[in-house]
Structure 1
Amino acid sequence: MKVVILAGGYGTRLSEETTVVPKPLVEIGGYPILWHIMKIYSHYGLNDFVICCGHKGSLIKDYFRNFFHRNCDFTIDLADNTLVTHQSPREPWRVTVVDTGEKTMTGGRLKRVREHLGEQTFCLTYGDGVADVNIRDLIAFHHQQGALATVTAVQLPGRWGALNLSSDRPRVVGFREKDSGDGHTISGGFFVVEPDALDLIDGEETVWEQEPMRRLVANDQLAVYRHEGYWQSMDTLRDKVLLQEIWDSGQPPWRVWQRPETQAKPRNAPNPGPRMTTDIGSRR
């Protein structure tokens, strides 16, 4: 199964860092946040990545082009132009890096990489958020639901437009703009998507989180996977500092690749009660 990562936005709320590098290359613990995201998926056996680049995308291309030498010790003999490596990186990744346009919106970026995805179910996420989501359980849940797409809902104060969740079924039932009374369930990304869902994208100006997802909702084809564990996006310098502090603590919750899978099981059974709301963001 392939993993698509949206990594083309401007990252304007993190301009202290993104004037130099694109947001997915901003480092936490000496590694780009993009690397952290890929490590999460790789832990669950997903190693085939499609990176949707845009703003400063050439730097992301350079990062992977030079990945081997960035992550190994070597001796270079400048006299005879030879290089001997002493430690090889062992990431089992296959990475397709695609320039999806400087100003293309999230849906348009997906449409541009359609040819790289084949006809199989794929995962989709943003290049600026980490979590201890159990990807294996998420994929299994998606297949159980039989929907064209599944979005992961997480607990956090709302910042973007809101979507309404069914009170008795794992489905999204509507969208609305956020208001001051919104709850704390938001979209954390970490989608699982069927290829047919891409037919709902009109063109480069299409925002995945708007019309395509509204159409999925209208057709009862957007399932919601409720994750009650850790999730954090890196939208601002404050977020970046927070993630670095958590990494420095030695026990970052998203570092699932170096600890047993002890995370809490998500509550995906029907949840009787009032309708819940979740925020969806447009993050190019």
Structure 2
Amino acid sequence: MKVVLLAGGFGTRLSEETHARPKPMIEVGGLPLLLHIMKMYSHHGFNDFIVCLGYMGYYIKEYFSNYLLHRSDVAIDFTTGSTRHFNTVVEPWRVSLVDTGLNTMTGGRLRRVKELIGNETFMMTYGDGVSDVDIGELAAFHRSHKRAATITAVQPPGRFGALELGSDGQITAFREKPADEAGWINGGFFVLEPSVFDLLEGDETVWERGPLEKLAERGDLAAYRHPGFWQPVDTLREKNLLEALWASGAPWKKW
């Protein structure tokens, strides 16, 4: 099953980092965020990736074209001109890097890689968030309900502590950063049938609006509930949060 990674957005809310690199290449623990996501999938046996590029796509192309150099130690003998790589990291991956346009919307990016996917069930996610979701179990759930699309539903992490107040205004308890009580939201990590391409009209198609709404209206969209860890990276605060979690034992690191 192929995995499509959306990695073409501008990442304007994280301009402190994205002025110099695309958001999926922001590093956490010394590794690009995109690599963390790919390793999540690979841990569950999914190793065929299609990366949809846009803003600063050449940065991602350079990284994977020189993956051996980026992920190995190097010995250079200037007298002979020879180069030797050691302590090499080898991945069982196939990676297709596709320029899907600078201003293309999420659904449009997916539409542009249709020919690479073919007539097969496939996965898709965003290139800016990590989770400890069981990808294998997600795939099995999708196969069991036989709908066109499965979305991973998550409860966003709480940002602020919550106060429990008595009738007289007295604080009776304090709950530290509860999960967002507004309900379940789109956490990405989709499993999709090729029939969804019929809902993608052009570069201007926003996957999260028309296509998902139509799938829901016709009862062709299922939710896989994931109550565990999930964290997007939209701000510098969230990037720093992942760095702190990485240092203390990253909950999404199963590889």
Same fold (TM over 0.5): yes
The Cα offsets for residues 119-147 of structure 1, whole Å up to 9 and x where unpaired, read as 11111000000000000100000011111
Task: Give 2:215's aligned amino acid.
Answer: L
**Does the 8 A contact of 1:157 with 1:185 survive in 2?**
no
Q: Distance in 1 between matches of 2:86 and 2:110?
A: 39
Q: Give the match for residue 254 of structure 1.
A: 252
Which runs of structure 2 are paired with 1:146-161 in the superposition (5 Å)?
146-156=146-156
The Cα offsets for residues 80-134 of structure 1, whole Å up to 9 and x where unpaired, read as 3221122221211110000000000000000101111121111100000000000
Q: Give the match for residue 16 of structure 1.
A: 16
The Cα offsets for residues 32-72 of structure 1, whole Å up to 9 and x where unpaired, read as 01000001000000000000010000000001011111111
Q: Distance in 2 between matches of 1:78 and 1:223?
A: 59
Q: Give the match for residue 99 of structure 1.
A: 99
Q: Give the match for residue 214 of structure 2.
A: 215
How far off is 1:157 after superposition? 6.3
Consecutive unaligned residues of structure 2, counting only runs of 5 or more, are 159-179
Percentage identity across paired residues of the two chains: 54
How far off is 1:217 after superposition? 1.1
Task: Give 1:253's aligned amino acid.
Answer: P
| Structure 1 runs of 4+ with >4 Å offset | none
Task: Give 2:221's aligned amino acid.
Answer: L
Task: Give 2:76's aligned amino acid.
Answer: I
Q: Give the match for residue 61 of structure 1.
A: 61
Q: Distance in 1 between matches of 2:55 and 2:85?
A: 33
Which runs of structure 2 are paired with 1:166-181 in the superposition (5 Å)?
none
Task: Give 1:48's aligned amino acid.
Answer: D
**Does the 8 A contact of 2:157 with 2:230 survive in 1?**
no
Consecutive unaligned residues of structure 1, counting only runs of 5 or more, are 159-180, 258-284
Q: Give the match for residue 189 of structure 2.
A: 190
* Count of residues in correspondence between the two structures: 234
Q: Give the match for residue 4 of structure 2.
A: 4
Q: Give the match for residue 117 of structure 1.
A: 117
| Structure 2 SS opposite 1:13 | helix
Which runs of structure 2 are paired with 1:67-82 in the superposition (5 Å)?
67-82=67-82
Q: Distance in 2 between matches of 1:246 and 1:193?
A: 31
The Cα offsets for residues 137-184 of structure 1, whole Å up to 9 and x where unpaired, read as 0000001111100000001169xxxxxxxxxxxxxxxxxxxxxx9713
* Higher CA-based Rg: 2
Q: Distance in 1 between matches of 2:217 and 2:154?
A: 22
| Structure 2 SS opposite 1:256 | coil
Q: Give the match for residue 37 of structure 1.
A: 37
Q: Distance in 2 between matches of 1:149 and 1:30?
A: 34
Report the TM-score, using the length of structure 2 for normalisation: 0.89
**Does the 8 A contact of 1:14 with 1:237 survive in 2?**
yes
The Cα offsets for residues 180-234 of structure 1, whole Å up to 9 and x where unpaired, read as x971311100000011111110000000001111111121111000001100000
Q: Give the match for residue 204 of structure 2.
A: 205
**Does the 8 A contact of 2:157 with 2:231 survive in 1?**
no
